[in-house]
Chains A and B, each alone.
Chain A
Amino acid sequence: MDSFLHLARPLGPVSVGTAPTTAPLNVVIQPQAIFSVLDHSLRRNADQERVIGTLLGTRSEDGSEVEVRSAFAVGHSEAEDQVEVDMEYHKQMLALHLKANPREVLVGWYATASELNTFSALIQNFYSGQGDGTWPHPAVHLTVSTQPGKDLETRAYISAPVGVTAERAADSAAFIPVPYELRYGEADKSGLESIANAKDAEERSATITSDIESLERAVEEVLSMIDRVSRYVESVIDEETPASTAMGQFLLNALALAPKVEPADIERDFNNHIQDVLVVSYLANTVRTQMELSTRLATAQLTLGGGEGAATGEKGNQRGKGNQNRRQDREEARA
Chain B
Amino acid sequence: MAPFTQTDQVNRLNTTAHLLQLYTMAETPASLAAVQVEALVVMKIIKHCSQTFPTTATGALVGMDVDGTLEITNTFPFPVVEVPAESHFDNAAPNPAAAAPRAKANAAYSGEMIRMLREVNTDANNVGWYTSANMGNFVNMNVIENQFYYQSQLNERTVALVHDVSRSAQGSLSLRAFRLSSKFMAGFKENKFTSEDLQKSSMRHQDIFDELPVKIHNSHLITSFIHQLQCPTTSASTELPPSLAALESSPFNKTSALAPNLENMSLSIDPFLEKNCDLLLDSIETHNTEVNNYQYYQRVLGREQQKINNWKTKRAQENATRATLNQPLLPEDEWQRLFKLPAEPSRLESMLNTRQVDQYARQVDSFVSSSTGKMFAIKGNLLPNEVSK
**Chain-A contact segment, one of B138-146, B317-325, B345-353:** B345-353
Cβ–Cβ < 8 Å partners of B372 in chain A: 274, 277-278
Contact of B264 among A31, A45, A211, A300 (CB under 8 A): A211
Residue B364 at the A interface, CB < 8 A?
Answer: yes
**Which of chain A's residues 186-227 have a Cβ closer than 8 Å to chain B?**
186-199, 204-215, 218-219, 221-222, 225
Closest A residue, CB atoms, query B367: A211
- Is A285 in the interface zone, CB < 8 Å from B? yes
Report the stretch among B85-93, B179-187, B269-277 that lies at the interface.
Answer: B269-277
Question: Do B216 and A198 have beta carbons less than 8 Å apart?
Answer: yes
Query: Does A304 interact with chain B (Cβ within 8 Å)?
Result: no
Residue of A nearest to B239 (CB): A244
B195 in the interface (beta carbon within 8 A)? yes
Is B366 touching A99 in the complex (CB atoms < 8 A)? no
Please name the residue on chain A nearest to B369 by beta carbon. Answer: A212
Interface pair B357/A288, CB less than 8 Å apart: yes
> CB of A81 within 8 A of chain B?
no
With contacts A187-B50, A211-B172, A295-B354 taken as known, whether A43 is within 8 angstroms of B120 at the C-beta atoms is: yes
Name the A residues within 8 Å of B229 (CB-CB): 182, 196
B366 in complex: contacting residue of A186, A189, A212, A319, CB < 8 Å = A212
- B226, A199: Cβ atoms closer than 8 Å: yes
A248-270 interface bits toward B, Cβ cutoff 8 Å, 1 = contact, 0 = none: 01100000000001010011001
Contact with A along B97-115 (1 / 0, CB 8 A): 0000000000001001100
Q: Are B280 and A333 in contact (CB under 8 A)?
A: yes
How many residues of chain A get a CB closer than 8 Å to chain B's CBs? 107
Please state if B228 and A152 are interface contacts (CB–CB under 8 Å): yes
Of B151-159, B254-262, B326-334, the one touching chain A: B254-262
Determine, out of B10-18, B19-27, B37-45, B307-315, the stretch whose residues face the partner at the interface. Answer: B37-45
Query: B interface, how many residues as a size bin?
Result: 35 or more
Closest residue on chain B to residue A195 by CB atoms: B39
Q: Which of B204, B229, B248 has the most CB of A within 10 A?
A: B229
The listed residue (B240, B294, B370) touching A247 by CB distance below 8 A is B240
Q: Is the CB of B258 within 8 A of A192?
A: yes
Which of B1-9, B335-343, B375-383 contacts the other chain? B375-383
Closest to B100 in A: A100
Query: Which residues of A does B touch, CB under 8 Å?
Result: 1, 30-32, 34-36, 38-45, 69-70, 73-75, 86, 89, 92-93, 96-97, 99-101, 146, 151-152, 182, 184-199, 204-215, 218-219, 221-222, 225, 242, 244-247, 249-250, 261, 263, 266-267, 270, 273-274, 276-278, 280-281, 283-285, 287-288, 291-292, 294-296, 298-301, 312, 319, 323, 326, 329-330, 333-334
In the assembled complex, 27 residue pairs joining A and B whose CB atoms fall closer than 8 Å, in A order, are A32-B46, A35-B44, A41-B221, A74-B120, A96-B112, A151-B224, A152-B225, A187-B50, A191-B168, A194-B173, A195-B39, A195-B222, A199-B230, A204-B219, A210-B366, A214-B172, A218-B265, A222-B262, A222-B265, A246-B241, A246-B243, A247-B241, A266-B379, A266-B383, A280-B276, A295-B347, A334-B281
What are the 10 A-B residue pairs with the smallest beta carbon separation, nearest first? A187-B50, A214-B172, A32-B43, A73-B120, A288-B361, A244-B240, A43-B121, A205-B217, A38-B221, A100-B79
Given contacts A45-B121, A298-B294, A333-B277, 7 further A-B contacts (CB under 8 A): A188-B46, A190-B169, A215-B370, A246-B247, A291-B283, A291-B353, A299-B347
Q: Which residues of B contact A (CB under 8 A)?
A: 36, 38-40, 42-44, 46-47, 49-50, 53, 59, 73-74, 76-80, 109, 112-113, 116, 119-122, 165, 168-176, 195, 198-199, 204-205, 213-230, 240-244, 246-248, 251, 257-258, 260-265, 269, 273, 276-277, 280-281, 283-284, 287-288, 291, 294-295, 298, 347, 350-351, 353-354, 357-358, 360-361, 364-375, 377-379, 382-383, 386
